[in-house]
Amino acid sequence: MSRNLPGVQKGAALIVGLVMLLVLTLLAVSTMRTAAMELLMASNAQYRENAFRLAESGIADAMSQANVAALGTTPGWSMNIAPQTVDALDGGYEASVNYLGASEAYGSYSPADYEFLHYRIDATGRAAQRGARSVQSQGLVRATLKGLE
pLDDT tens digit sequence for 77-95: 999 999 999 999 899 999 9
Answer yes or no: is 128 within a domain. yes
Answer yes or no: is 41 within a domain. yes
| Tally of domains within the chain | 1
Residues 6+ apart with CB under 8 A from 63: 121, 138, 140
pLDDT tens digit sequence for 32-54: 999 999 999 999 999 999 999 99
Q: Which helix (H) or strand (E) holds 137?
A: strand 133-145
Instruction: Give Cα separations from 116 to 38, 79, 84, 102, 124 (angstroms).
Output: 49, 19, 30, 5, 26
Answer yes or no: is 101 within a domain. yes
Residues 6+ apart with CB under 8 A from 129: 43, 47, 50, 90
DSSP-derived secondary structure letter, 124:
E
Answer yes or no: is 2 within a domain. no
What's the whole-number average pLDDT of the chain? Answer: 87
Answer yes or no: is 57 within a domain. yes
Domain interval for residue 115:
12-145
For the question of whether the overall pTM of this predicted structure is more than 0.85, the answer is no
Answer yes or no: is 4 within a domain. no
Answer yes or no: is 54 within a domain. yes
